[in-house]
Amino acid sequence: MEIHTLIWLLVIGFLGGILSGSMGVGGGIIIVPMLVLILGMSQHQAQGTYLGMMIAPIAAFSAYNYWKAGHINWKYALILMATFAIGSFLGSYIANYYISGKTLRKLFGIVMLLTSLKVIFTK
């Protein structure tokens, strides 16, 4: 691995962690596009790398602070966790075997754009 790649990975991971921990924004909103645009990964590689990163209990560190402050509804979290696991398995299967990298990148951009417009214009 080249030093500039390592530096970019450190910056990308740190920025993703800051946004995820501070605003609850999925680190993938930052990490996936930066892996594609800066490090030249394909959309499939970037998404797979991001998901591989999440295997470790990364969210546990952030969730701990929210739990300490009394801001976790465990009933909701457990239901979301179970359905998220099923949905992510099916979604990754569809993305890897039925959607081209070009189409996947466009869909990712559309989802980010629509989400940001909703956040900006909702009172």
Query: 52-85, pLDDT tens digit by residue?
Result: 888 766 778 888 999 999 999 999 999 988 898 8
CA dihedral 115, 121, 122, 123 (to 10 degrees): 150
> pTM for this one?
0.74
What is the crossing angle of helices 74-98 and 43-53, to 10°? Answer: 150
